[in-house]
Copies of this chain bind each other. A is one copy, B any other.
Amino acid sequence: MSEKELQLDVAEVGERILGRWADIRRHTRKVVIENQLFKPEGAPMDQHREWVLKSLKTLVRENATQYGFPKELGGQSNPGGSLSSFEELVFGDASLQIKFGVQWGLFGSAILYLGTDYHHKTFLPGATTLETPGAFAMTETGHGSDVASIGTTATYDPATKEFVIHTPDRHSYKDYLGNAALHGEAAVVFAQLYTNGEHHGVHAFFVPIRKNGKLLPGVGAEDDGLKGGLNGIDNGRLFFNQVRIPRLNLLNRYADVQEDGTYTSSIDSPGRRFFTQLGALVQGRVSLTGAVTNAQKLALDIAVRYSLARRQFAGKDGSEVTLLDYQRHQRRLLPLIARTYAQIFTHQELLNQFHTVFSGENDTEETRSDLETVSAASKALSTWYALDTIQECREACGGQGFMAQHRLTGLRADLDVYVTFEGDNNVMLQLVAKRLLTDYAKAFKSPDFGTLAQYVAGQVGETAINRGGLRGLAQSITDFGSTARAVGYVKDEEHQHQLLTDRVHTMVASIANKLKAAGSDKDKQAELFNRYQNDLINAARAHAELIMWEAFTSALKTIKDGDSIKILTWLRDLYGFTLLEENLSWYLINGRLSGARAEAITEYIDSRLLPRLRPHAENLVDAFLLPPELVRTTLAQDERERQLNRQTLVRN
């Protein structure tokens, strides 16, 4: 059977892409379509905000918001399902999605995960039903990524058994909070806890802020106003002038203050206590990864179909050439399809991992820590990839891509801020890099080969993603530097894996080695850390890319249809080869690839992978299973119709 006759099994691959919570995803899509929960493009900010609030109520009514909450509140205690529903909303309106995230992913989840029975009974019902729209008041104008340094204080007053919430200065205003400017009736406020004259670090408090739309005494609010996107959300600032709340409003799952002001905590280390309380935030990282990946599906669905309908410039037979038959156009779009598939499968692994931890199935310090690292890596790369992908799709549609009705520009504008959500992506990657260094320090005591291989295996194992690919690494690692065996060497799955793994390891080892020079001198450590900050972030990035390649490779093993396996293996190879191509200089400098092999990589992409995948481009986006009512642009169809109705014109 020749390559062109292969056929992707759209149904099977589509179902695999929809994943474990396919039913929930289908339901949310149905709700979006039936209720026309589509972004009102061009609506003034005020109208868009009211539309989003109304649409959130529709989602409540249609049972698309409760999955993550306890059964007694009408939920399913299904953390993975909850995020799945959230992720699908990007097909309707990103503002709707993020306001959903504010209400249930942040405000509601903080009550659920940081509070105890009292809070669940008292505050959760209002949160789940949207009777109490709520803000998640963590970020301050002066402190975005550095939450430990926030300025808001919560001082316990034993005389009245109350906490006094106070904003000391403009720097410490809570900022960028959805629901703060208009709709919020309460907020989970993060503040430095003081009791009996002692400071105990950041804790979360339930603070009422409005009643019937009017601010409560001592509470101030400002509107952030117009933004680059997501204008359906009423982001704003909150500040507190000696606002008193009952002692019981401390969300006390991990720490409490007794009536007399005595502080107690189940976690001794203040550092660990801080990070444990912030742990609930990990669902933001996980679900943003899924959300942007969905947005990429939408963008690629639009751009690929257009590239198959649109023709431009006469080809060798005189008739105009279909865009996707241009090599450059293939180079623009096909690797983006490959990377999107890699992101999809990575996110599925991540979402499973999240569900396992947050459902309590396997909730340990280690699984939480792994989840935090992998989600930070995935969130950073995926949100950047999403902007790149949507932009390339918009450019690939030319002037049509700039028309708001074709959705690409609005999608990009809305998703722009996803790259700074949850902290700057560079800060995220630095967290990943620190973890890589810590693991390295633990594992790599003596520089013998066994430890090294073990470290690499451990590194990858930590991702909780397929470990199978690493079999035989120790044995074959000695092959590096041997003479070229043409591109066949790189095509081999095991070798692709080795090349990617080895790069991460070597980068980390090299940086660790440079940092060692500081010894125990703290100043020198800080200086060297900054000196190699860029390298560190690059190493974290390489780690994230490896995770994605592994997830794609694991997924291949779950596909049954033979043709689909072949086609998706080419697609995985395209992803892997593109990664190698992007980092080719590293492989050359470090002697991992000869010049001949390096050149063969680009040659192989251009002469083999692109032509092989070209006939399957349409099926590859078909497998996203996006119905036209969800995509809502007839760009490609209109183009085809216009061409059918053309007169034959004499050419000069």
Contacts and interface: CB of A to CB of B under 8 A. Distances in A.
A169 B647 contact: yes
A567 interface: no
Interface in A405-431: 405, 408-410, 412-413, 416-417, 419-420, 424-426, 430
Interface in A56-77: none
B402 A417 contact: yes
Contacts of A584: 585, 588-589
A467 interface: no
Interface in A382-408: 387, 391, 394-395, 398-399, 401-405, 408
Contacts of A652: 148, 192, 199-202, 270, 274
Given A149-B314, A413-B413, A607-B531, A142 B643 contact: yes
Given A149-B320, A168-B647, A402-B417, 14 more contacts: A142-B646, A146-B312, A149-B313, A151-B647, A169-B642, A171-B645, A228-B412, A270-B652, A274-B652, A316-B523, A387-B391, A534-B606, A581-B585, A584-B588
A586 to B, nearest CB: 9
A595 interface: yes
A336 interface: no
A144 B588 contact: no
A461 interface: no
A522 B535 CA distance: 49
Interface string A239-276: 00000000000000000000000000000001000100
A650 interface: yes
Given A145-B312, A402-B228, A403-B227, A171 B646 contact: yes
Given A599-B589, A643-B171, A229 B142 contact: no
A192 to B, nearest CB: 7
Q: How many copies does the complex hold?
A: 2
Interface stretch (A26-34, A41-49, A206-214): A41-49
Contacts of A315: 526
Contacts of A145: 312-313, 398
Interface string A551-589: 000000000000000000000000000000100110011
A327 B514 CA distance: 16
A407 B229 CA distance: 13
Contacts of A270: 652
12 contacts: A42-B45, A149-B313, A170-B642, A170-B645, A171-B645, A228-B404, A325-B530, A395-B424, A399-B420, A413-B413, A584-B585, A585-B585
B326 A409 contact: no
A175 interface: yes
Contacts of A409: 227-229, 413, 416
B424 A537 contact: no
Contacts of A425: 395
Given A151-B646, A534-B606, A646-B169, A416 B398 contact: no
B533 A327 contact: yes
Contacts of A327: 530-534
Contacts of A172: 646
Nearest to A581: B585
A228 B408 contact: yes
A142 B226 CA distance: 36
Contact of A419 (B395, B426, B581): B395
A493 interface: no
A307 interface: no
A224 interface: yes
A35 interface: no
A1 interface: no
A643 B140 CA distance: 13
Interface of A: 41-42, 44-45, 139, 141-146, 148-149, 151, 168-172, 175-176, 192, 199-202, 224-229, 270, 274, 312-316, 320, 325-328, 331-332, 387, 391, 394-395, 398-399, 401-405, 408-410, 412-413, 416-417, 419-420, 424-426, 430, 522-523, 526-527, 530-535, 537, 581, 584-585, 588-591, 595, 598-599, 606-607, 642-643, 645-647, 649-652
Max chain B CB contacts within 10 Å: which of A176, A314, A331, A588?
A588
A149 to B, nearest CB: 7
Given A312-B146, A652-B199, A175 B399 contact: yes
B44 A192 contact: no
Nearest to A399: B176
Contact of A534 (B141, B328, B419): B328
- Most B CB atoms within 10 A — which of A168, A316, A599? A316
A216 to B, nearest CB: 24
Contacts of A141: 642
A649 B534 contact: no
Contacts of A523: 316
B228 A426 contact: no
A510 to B, nearest CB: 11
A328 B401 CA distance: 33
Given A228-B402, A649-B151, A534 B416 contact: no
Contacts of A534: 327-328, 331, 606
Nearest to A274: B652
A146 B313 contact: yes
A544 to B, nearest CB: 16
Given A146-B313, A598-B585, A417 B404 contact: no
A331 B430 CA distance: 14
A413 B408 CA distance: 12
B647 A316 contact: no
Contacts of A527: 316
Contacts of A192: 649-650, 652
Contacts of A44: 42, 44
A598 B589 contact: yes
Nearest to A168: B647
A394 B413 contact: no
A42 B426 CA distance: 30
The 4 tightest CB contacts between A and B, nearest first, are: A228-B409, A584-B585, A226-B404, A316-B526
